[in-house]
Amino acid sequence: MPAPPEPVLRAAVRWLERLPASGPARIRALFTAHSDFSDLTPTQYDAAYDWLGQAGLLDGAHSPIPPHRRVFDAAIAHSGALWLPDADLLVRGPDELPDDAMRTAQALGLGESEAYAQIAAVWGKVDADQRARIGAAGELALAELLTASADASVEHVAAWADGYGYDIAVHAPHHRSHLEVKTTLRRSRLTVYLSRNEYETMLRDPHWELVAVRLAPDLQPEAVATLPKDWIAAQAPADRGPHGRWESYRLDVPPDVPEPGIPPIAPLLAEDASPLLDGTAGWPGH
């Protein structure tokens, strides 16, 4: 839903300021009868209350976060803005704030720097939630593809443990693969996050592979590719001193880097195996 207009945003802040101490009926009567609140109409106050419910803010009325900041975060997170999923690339500083975000910030009395910091926080939460949801779907989709296409035992180890450094194990006589799965919905951009544990597992485990899975909007698999381990290692950060240690890093993968399919498991694939696994389906941009 688009961010509410300026009067409704201001009304939403007034609701959140008073809800911890009074019930909705008493506050609504105050807004209607007291001259201090007559700059906004009863309809705008009602619209603000409805929007707070839709945005989930009525459940956290006692939050220690200032009301105007909660309203701004919710207005951005629920706006459906096309720029938000790529805010880490498109909004790199206060001077790059999109017009809709700037209008919302001004309505709530936030400066450019404050608004930029809030957007970074909103993007981080949205991105983390999205990665968790999409990541789980990608792991499950790949496990199902492998089970149907490979003559091997397929174990979705991430379903019961998170410390292996990989998500799926593929075992067959004289063969073993440990697959770390990274998932995306985007066709034009592949960004993956690798933890220290995953990276160090890659260095010590010769069976480890990083597999990228692209899902359609309905979460069905559309493409599968493998990232070369030497390329991954070449991008890794380095600890610069005895008192600092990196724990995760981000890879923005150029379109020509992923290798379609999963080459190490090719000998295990049945004749009618999914073309996503043998590489014949390709990878977007490859």
Q: Map 198-228 to HEC letters.
A: HHHHHHHCCCEEEEEEEECCCCCEEEEEEEC
Q: What is the pLDDT along the chain (286 residues), one digit of tens a residue?
A: 678 999 999 999 999 999 999 999 999 999 999 999 999 999 999 999 999 999 999 987 678 899 999 999 999 998 888 888 888 888 999 999 999 999 999 999 999 999 999 999 888 887 778 888 899 999 999 999 999 999 999 999 999 988 899 999 999 999 999 999 999 988 888 999 999 999 999 999 999 999 999 999 999 999 999 999 999 999 999 999 999 999 999 999 999 999 999 999 999 999 899 999 999 998 987 6
Q: Do residues 173 and 273 share a domain? A: yes
pLDDT score for 259: 96
Phi/psi at 94 (5° precision): -55, -30
pLDDT score for 125: 84
pLDDT score for 1: 67
Which of 76, 110, 144 corresponds to the end of one domain?
110
Q: Do residues 182 and 271 share a domain? A: yes
Q: Do residues 141 and 97 share a domain? A: no
Which of 59, 78, 110 corresponds to the end of one domain?
110
Q: Do residues 169 and 39 share a domain? A: no
SS3 273: coil
Q: Do residues 94 and 16 share a domain? A: yes
> Per-residue DSSP letters for 149-216?
HBSSEEE-GGGT-S-SS-SEEEEETTEEEEEEEEEES-SS-EEEEEEHHHHHHHHH-TTEEEEEEEE-
> Is 16 inside a domain boundary?
yes
Q: Do residues 76 and 178 share a domain? A: no
Burial class (CB within 10 angstroms; exposed 0-12, middle 13-18, buried 19+) of 82: exposed
Q: Do residues 227 and 149 share a domain? A: yes
Q: Do residues 140 and 266 share a domain? A: yes
> Is 120 inside a domain boundary?
no
pLDDT score for 18: 94
DSSP 45: H
Taking the C-alpha atoms of residue 229 and residue 238, their distance in angstroms, rounded to an integer, is: 16
The residue with tokens 């295990």 is: 268
Q: Do residues 208 and 105 share a domain? A: no
3 in Cβ contact with 71 (< 8 Å) = no
Number of domains comprising the chain: 2
β-pair partners for 226: 211, 259
Range of the domain at 206: 133-278
pLDDT score for 285: 72
Q: Do residues 86 and 209 share a domain? A: no
Q: From edge to edge, which strands make up the β-sheet containing 175-184?
A: 153-155, 168-172, 175-184, 208-215, 221-227, 259-260
> Is 144 inside a domain boundary?
yes
283 in Cβ contact with 258 (< 8 Å) = yes
pLDDT score for 89: 83
Which of 77, 110, 143 corresponds to the end of one domain?
110
123 in Cβ contact with 84 (< 8 Å) = yes
pLDDT score for 239: 93
User: How far is CA 105 from each of CA 13, 117, 124, rounded to the nearest angstrom?
Assistant: 13, 11, 18
CATH number assigned to the domain comprising residue 186? 3.40.1350.10
Q: Do residues 144 and 273 share a domain? A: yes
> Is 283 inside a domain boundary?
no
Question: Which positions ≥6 away from 78 have C-beta within 8 Å?
Answer: 1, 3, 54, 55
The vertex-189 CA angle with 183 and 191, nearest 5°, equals: 50
CA atoms within a 13 Å half-sphere pointing along the CA-CB vector of 136? 8
> Is 123 inside a domain boundary?
no
> Is 119 inside a domain boundary?
no
> Is 116 inside a domain boundary?
no
Q: Do residues 137 and 274 share a domain? A: yes
> Is 241 inside a domain boundary?
yes
Return the H-helix or E-strand segment holding 260.
strand 259-260
